[in-house]
Amino acid sequence: MRYLATHLDTAWALAMIHLRLSLIPVLLGLLIAVPLGAFVWRHTLLRRISTLAASIIFTIPSLALFVALPLIIPTRILDEANVIVALTLYTTALLVRAVPEALDAVPHHVRDAATAVGYTRLGQLLKIELPLSLPVLTAGLRVVAVTNISMVAVGSVIGIGGLGTWFTEGYQADKSDQIIAGIIATFLLAVVVDVLILLAGRLLAPWSAAEARTGRPKRRSKAAA
Amino acid sequence: MNFLQQAFDFIFTAENWSGKAGLANRILEHLQYTFVAVAVSALIAIPIGLIIGHTRRGSFAVVTTVNALRALPTLGVLLLGVLLWGLGLLPPTVALTLLGVPPLLAGTYAGIANVDPKVADAARAMGMTEWRVLTRVEVPNALPLILGGLRTATLQIVATATVAAYASLGGLGRYLIDGIKVRQFYLALVGAVMVTLLALLLDGLLAAAVWASAPGTGRLRRWVPQPLLDDEVALVARPRGRTPDYSGRESSPTVEGW
């Protein structure tokens, strides 16, 4: 605890690197996965292919991908870009499955009503279906963000910056208080990001909080795992 | 492409597979860390998930625990464990178990809690005890989600077991981490390729298990005989007096020779 208190400025700097490495991929992944997921949603075959591709990508261990990426794209080994590209791949893989599932969760009668009042297919997607799928999408985003934060921490083993460097430094210097400080800082970072995404989701989709309180129109969600 | 060539040359050379630091032994070590951690996670997470899913009490605690454990950095726990308890199987097991508990707990809990309450109530109405409602109705229906949790847990553990090598332990991470340390990147690539293959293999096996466990399809029955259920039915439905005619279907023999 004392280590964290006396090294607050270093912790802050490391946390910013950590956030940059783990959250830029979330934004890039969202930009790719939402249009892609909405596109494959209505095509059974494309959706099956994208789900399969996504689960294969997701199976590749992150450390392995960090190391293997420089062979596929023109970056140097141990470059920050590898981490960002690798985590973007994971984020996209996870979200490209979550987006169609989130769209599935939109109730049929709402969709039919939108068709009945004359929305075009694109307008319906943008104004009705995507906004209504926000609560399910937010749940997926929270998992992605927390997973990315822990993957960046593991990356310190192969020399990636961020709060994980306190683990490797503390281990080499035999200082357990530095490791404990790193655990606390990483944990707090993940919790803060998780809560912020949760609150953003509540703000953008205020009805989800009301539903959770009254528990009325409960949708049966597939397990978050 | 040069590194890749070197890496595959290394993998396809027989002498690199034998010996204490050979590929075969490293794979076994990696699998050992993985299986021990998955087993311990299952022993902790499945009973808790079953109880909370069945009673439907404490779901808030589950969500909070799962989220908090997900945020806990595995590498930090592992290295702290090595500093506190020394080298050995204990630090990686603890660190990887903390990684495996959240998906297993979430899967088990969600699987049981998502079973249609009508189905469980119907089972109660037929006179099943709570234990039988859980084991005969809820668990079979929840099996795909429970095994799905096991699949996620195994995948994360087998991928992260790589970091055990950083704490001077074995496993496939040795190639990856030593390769980076001595700047022999083809060695790191050997580790990366082998861990990926191992993860794909385990994931494929567990995906097949999830597929086979889908309730009502009878896929599981082909491999796993379920004699206990028939015995129970025969015992409970045992007639007083004469044997009823099951319209051609024979009831299975019970312990008493029925």
Distances (CA, A) of B129 to B50, B133, B234: 15, 6, 17
Residue A147 at interface with chain B, using a CB cutoff of 8 Å: yes
CB spacing of B70 vs A147 below 8 angstroms: yes
pTM of the entire predicted model: 0.80
Structural tokens at position A98: 């979550």
Whether the CB of A82 is below 8 Å from some CB of chain B: the reply is no
3-state secondary structure of A187: helix
Extended strands (E) in chain A: none
CB contact under 8 A, A64 and B176: yes
B76 closest CA partner among A181, A134, A199: A181
Amino acid occupying residue A225? A
What are the φ/ψ torsions at residue A73 (nearest 5 degrees)? -115, 155
ipTM rounded to 2 decimals:
0.80
- Calculate how close chain A gets to B131, using CA atoms only, in Å: 24
Cβ <8 Å between B155 and A59: yes
Mutate to test the interface with B, among A94, A179, A180, A195 (most CBs of B within 10 A): A179
As given in the structure block, the two tokens for residue B205 are 């096996």
Decide: A67 and A77 in contact? Cβ < 8 Å: yes
Cα B91 to Cα B81: distance, rounded to the nearest angstrom:
5
pLDDT tens track, chain A, 225 positions = 677 778 788 888 888 999 999 999 999 999 999 999 988 988 889 988 998 888 888 888 888 888 778 777 776 766 788 888 889 998 999 899 889 888 888 888 888 899 899 888 888 888 888 888 888 888 889 888 998 998 898 888 887 888 889 988 888 888 888 999 999 999 999 999 999 998 998 888 887 767 666 655 544 444 443
With pLDDT > 70 as the criterion, what percentage of chain B qualifies? 85
| Closest residue to A223, CB basis, from B72, B145, B162 | B145
